[in-house]
Copies of this chain bind each other. A is one copy, B any other.
Amino acid sequence: MPLVDTAAPFVVRDLALAEAGRHQLRLAENEMPGLMALREEFGPTQPLKGARIAGSLHMTVQTAVLIETLVALGAQVRWASCNIFSTQDEAAAAVAVGPTGTVDAPAGVPVFAWKGETLEEYWACTERIFDWSGEAAAAGADFTGPNMILDDGGDATLLVHKGREFELAGTVPAAEDGDPEEWRVILGVLSRSLDASPDRWQRTAADIQGVTEETTTGVHRLYELARAGELLFPAINVNDSVTKSKFDNKYGIRHSLPDGINRATDVLMGGKVAFVAGYGDVGKGAAEALRGQGARVIVSEVDPINALQAAMDGYQVAKIESVIDQIDILISGTGNKDVVTVDHLLGLKHLAVVGNVGHFDNEIDMAGLEAVPGAEKIEIKPQVHEWRLPTGRSILVLSEGRLMNLGNATGHPSFVMSNSFTNQVLAQIELYAFRDRYATDVHVLPKHLDEKVARLHLDALGVELTTLTPEQAAYIGVEVDGPYKPDHYRY
């Protein structure tokens, strides 16, 4: 696609995909009871009326349900994806057309996202979610940008902070040798912006009441900003809600890891030796799924506490090199780099399946594999490659070492995302409607809201909750309606 047309009201791959997208949205809505319950509860009172939300989060079917929930609660929304590959084009089209619009007369949300953006396109899209001139003109108002950010990974937040910083400095620094390509692109965007307006990001930042952040990386950046005293507005760390981190990572992977292996390889997992590197939440879900399929699972860990948990859960715990020649399925889920080295890859059994559910593609040393003299890469089908190795053996690498549960399957299922996104919506309401409660710092959602998120997902599963009697509540020192646990409770 060309660079984003700054006049276009939205930019998606193909509006004709909207109908297919709408079907998927309808099915997803049934699996996202938390979001649908919020529409019912808050639709009438419109707590997000007046909110202008700039959203930067994977433009998937599930995110489409999130977006339309925000709109149902009164918000105006502009949206970009937070990853160049993660957009589902039919979901983007459906959101642009909107539930009441048509392909000829789209009446949805301004969305700027398609699968396979270049870095330039990506940051141009991100910039567009901050350009509310059309909305301002339509409202006869004089705002420049959003008054809320909904972020995943912190790119939208970064743009505001850096934009304002460079405006105050009066200049955008030149990229230096060794700066990552992406940083050059960002500097380019901000430099053009500074040429066009000396105070656009200052005005934007001043209007923003808060950001709600979805994921670890973004949260990490926010804490750094707060520590440095540079955070410009209050933030809610959605990632560390129990109903996010203890559900998304564990139960999401448990679902999508075996799905990815099946779709990619059609290889039986039962009876095989599966190796899972890392026994955090992702590793726990991966190991459970593989054991559930009858595989014998071996785990590796560097943290003795997680290692002991794995042992107590009945898994062999070993270094990868100690068992490499037994492994049929090798899964890495640590968030670390070089967990699977070229030596490991060379030591695997013939046609062992290798997949990453942890983080970047450096979790498995793909660069090293490509550099192995004589190694030959054969595409079996997209995202599934046989690597013929000089050892005479082959291995099957999924999604080129990138997240295979996304590349070979469809990633987190709607029900899991409903938990995460219900946290997002509640966090948006908190920061927008109760802004006085939150100082300019990084907060987690109060526990009663975390519990509310869980509550909204019980009926769909046929769960019947017990209610405390007042005497029981007093006896254990809580209110009948919660919160039920101290903050340090680990679940």
Surface stretch bound by B, among A20-28, A142-150, A331-339, A431-439 = A331-339
Q: Is B458 in contact with A304, judged by CB distance below 8 angstroms?
A: yes
- Residue in chain B with minimal CB distance to A419: B308
Does A130 lie at the interface of the complex (its beta carbon under 8 Å from any beta carbon of B)?
Answer: no
- Please measure, in the bound complex, the distance between the C-alpha atom of A338 and the C-alpha atom of B471, giving whole angstroms: 9
Does A485 lie at the interface of the complex (its beta carbon under 8 Å from any beta carbon of B)?
Answer: yes
Surface stretch bound by B, among A39-47, A167-175, A346-354, A447-455 = A447-455
Q: Is A247 in contact with B312, judged by CB distance below 8 angstroms?
A: yes
- Set B240, B305, B461, B471: member contacting A243, Cβ < 8 A: B305
- Convert A62-101 into 0s and 1s, putting 1 for each residue whose CB lies closer than 8 angstroms to a CB of B: 0000000000000000000000000000000000000000
Does A317 lie at the interface of the complex (its beta carbon under 8 Å from any beta carbon of B)?
Answer: yes
Q: Known interface pairs A454-B308, A458-B308. Does A302 touch B468 (Cβ–Cβ under 8 Å)?
A: yes
Does A385 lie at the interface of the complex (its beta carbon under 8 Å from any beta carbon of B)?
Answer: no
Q: How far is the CB of A2 from chain B (nearest CB, A)?
A: 36
- Please measure, in the bound complex, the distance between the C-alpha atom of A309 and the C-alpha atom of B485, giving whole angstroms: 15
Which B residues are in CB contact (< 8 Å) with A419? Answer: 308
Q: Is A311 in contact with B458, judged by CB distance below 8 angstroms?
A: yes
Q: How far is the CB of A106 from chain B (nearest CB, A)?
A: 37
Which B residues are in CB contact (< 8 Å) with A335? Answer: 476
Does A7 lie at the interface of the complex (its beta carbon under 8 Å from any beta carbon of B)?
Answer: no
Q: How far is the CB of A340 from chain B (nearest CB, A)?
A: 12
Q: Is B245 in contact with A308, judged by CB distance below 8 angstroms?
A: no
Q: Known interface pairs A246-B309, A458-B311, A471-B337. Does A464 touch B317 (Cβ–Cβ under 8 Å)?
A: yes
Which B residues are in CB contact (< 8 Å) with A482? Answer: 303-304
Which B residues are in CB contact (< 8 Å) with A306? Answer: 484, 491
- Please measure, in the bound complex, the distance between the C-alpha atom of A251 and the C-alpha atom of B314, giving whole angstroms: 11
Which B residues are in CB contact (< 8 Å) with A490? Answer: 242, 245-246, 490-491
Does A192 lie at the interface of the complex (its beta carbon under 8 Å from any beta carbon of B)?
Answer: no
Q: Is A450 in contact with B318, judged by CB distance below 8 angstroms?
A: no
Report A469-491 residues with CB < 8 Å from chain B CB: 469, 471-472, 475-476, 482, 484-485, 488, 490-491
- Please measure, in the bound complex, the distance between the C-alpha atom of A220 and the C-alpha atom of B245, giving whole angstroms: 27
- Please measure, in the bound complex, the distance between the C-alpha atom of A302 and the C-alpha atom of B485, giving whole angstroms: 11
Q: Is A304 in contact with B246, judged by CB distance below 8 angstroms?
A: no
Does A60 lie at the interface of the complex (its beta carbon under 8 Å from any beta carbon of B)?
Answer: no
Q: Is B242 in contact with A302, judged by CB distance below 8 angstroms?
A: no
Q: Is B464 in contact with A318, judged by CB distance below 8 angstroms?
A: yes
**Nearest 9 pairs of A and B residues by beta carbon:** A304-B454, A304-B455, A303-B484, A317-B463, A308-B454, A305-B454, A490-B490, A311-B461, A318-B464
- Some 11 contacts from A to B, beta carbons below 8 A apart, are A251-B312, A302-B467, A304-B458, A304-B465, A307-B454, A309-B491, A311-B463, A317-B464, A322-B464, A338-B471, A490-B491
Q: A307-B454, A338-B472 are in contact. List 8 more A-B contacts (CB 8 A).
A: A240-B488, A247-B312, A303-B454, A304-B452, A311-B463, A317-B461, A317-B464, A339-B472
> CB within 8 Å of B: which residues of A?
240, 242-243, 245-247, 251, 277, 300-312, 316-320, 322, 335-339, 419, 450-452, 454-455, 457-458, 461-469, 471-472, 475-476, 482, 484-485, 488, 490-491
